[in-house]
Amino acid sequence: MKRVIDEMNKEELYAFFKTDLFNKIHEMIEEKKLSLENAILVLKHIGHCKVLKHIWNNHFKESSLDKRFEKMIIEEEKKKEEKNEKLLIDLCECYLLLNRWASEELLSTGVSCLLKVALNKEENEEAQKEVEIVLLALSGFGYGEVEQELFINEIKEVIQYHQKHHNLTRLACQSSWQFLINGLPYYKSFEGVIVDELHFLREAERELEELMKSVNRKREKEAEKEEKETKKELVLLRWLNTLERYFLYCTMWNEEFVGLLNSIVRVFLAAKDNNREVSLQCIHLLKEIADNRVVKIEDLLKGGAVDVVLEEFQRPTLNDEITSGFLECFDIISSGLYKTEDEKEEEEKVKEEERKEMKMKMFEKMEEEGYEDIITSLNKLLDFLSYEYYYYSFSSDIADYFVNV
């Protein structure tokens, strides 16, 4: 079954991970046709694939196996003596990998239990794999129901030890950061820890540069177009998703923005001809960054984001989600240069001379990339793309704004 699951694509996995599958496994355990130990091995692998490939559904929650595991976790946790710690860990791993709708009690039990495993500093392959599984399980659930601030010291220790000793796998490293960043909407104090103490942006830049190698290649044979995603490509997508979540809640400017932006642009350029999913995720991320007013337009210029946006306007095929995504990104950037009456008080912090200089830099960049062609393309394409990708609402005066800059 492990080999079969590994060979499935995302659509096949959606069809496979149904309530009937989990009910059947539960039935086999009940009838002694499958041992609990072997069932746990199978379910761990299912959960691993489910989280890694972003297969989010509620089918496990609807199964009889979910109820069985809930009962077993609660009973094992309540034991004062002869508690089977390994069984409890296995059950919590399976449960959090497969179920994002756990109760507050089970989340607290699972997080506390699995963080103890994550703190294992052994460097043998078996220990690393177990740590990878528990961190992957922890990375997948939402926060409102559990007091995650109780666990920040443990996850900090995991990350800091890895920064010094490099004991985690790439997936485990990414999952540990995601677990921490998932707490940003609820605990604003986390950002200081993430940025100042743990240097998240620098770490993310280094990981993107390394993982970029997995997509920085051309397909040599036509058959390779159907090649399954490699684990590195999946980890890269997870990093891009984690960064998008970070910039959604980011409130602190940092000088490391430019280096990270440059890496995101480089990932897009490496992936745009052979990995559409990575390319689109880069665009979503750049839009999120451009829309975050903490990030300066100067950062977008220095990081190469403006260059790649303008370059994509001149693609030979414009009826495309990539182009429409960059049009929205361009709209966000241009609106950031325009000072409305409501924003005057806030914008007093920025010297008017600096603003004018930034406008001129943008104008010069437009001239370099073919200003007239871009404006003509915008005028012709905005109506069509707004209809084709109906969620866009572009400013009607984009072209006039740049003409009169």
Q: What is the pLDDT of residues 84-113, one digit of tens each?
A: 999 999 999 999 999 877 777 888 889 999
Answer whether residue 244 is part of any domain.
no
**Domain membership flag for residue 271:** no
Cα–Cα dist 398/329, whole Å? 12
Q: How many domains does the chain have?
A: 2
- Which among 264, 171, 164 is positioned nearest to 209, based on CA atoms? 264
Which three-class secondary structure state does DSSP give residue 209?
helix
Tell me whether residue 220 is in a domain: no
Question: What pLDDT is stored for residue 236 in this prediction?
Answer: 96
Q: Which of 101, 126, 152 is the last residue of a domain?
A: 101
Six-digit token pair at 281?
A: 């995720």
- Asked if the structure places residue 219 within a domain, the reply is no
Residue 300: alpha-carbon gap to chain centroid: 20
Please state, in angstroms and rounded to a whole number, the distance separating the CA atoms of residues 318 and 315. 6
What pLDDT sits at residue 401? 45
Q: Answer whether residue 247 is part of any domain.
A: no
Last residue of a domain, one of 42, 69, 101: 101
- Sequence-separated (6 or more) residues with CB below 8 Å from residue 236: 208, 211, 212, 214, 215, 267, 278
Q: Cβ contacts of residue 177 below 8 Å, gap of 6+?
A: 159, 200, 203, 204, 242
Instruction: Annotate 367-396 with DSSP letters as a single string.
Output: HHT-HHHHHHHHHHHHHHHHHHTTT----T
Instruction: Say if 261 falls within a structural domain.
Output: no
Burial annotation 143-156 (CB, 10 A radius, 16+ → b, else e): beebebeebeebbb
Section 384-392 average pLDDT: 51
Q: Say which residue, 282 or 391, is predicted with more confidence.
A: 282
E strand map for 257-387: none
pLDDT of residue 365: 73
Binning pLDDT at 50, 70 and 90, where does residue 216 land?
Answer: low
Exposure string over 237-267, b if 16+ CB within 10 A, otherwise e: bbbbbbbbbbbeebeeebebbbbbbbbbbbb
Please indicate, yes or no, if residue 365 is contained in any of the structural domains: yes
CB 117 within 8 Å of CB 134: yes
In a domain, 33, yes or no: yes
pLDDT at position 353 over 80: no
Helices and strands (DSSP H and E) totals, the chain: 22, 0
Name the token pair of 280.
Answer: 């689109």
The last residue of a domain, from among 50, 78, 101: 101
Q: Could you tell me the residue range of the domain that residue 86 belongs to?
A: 1-101
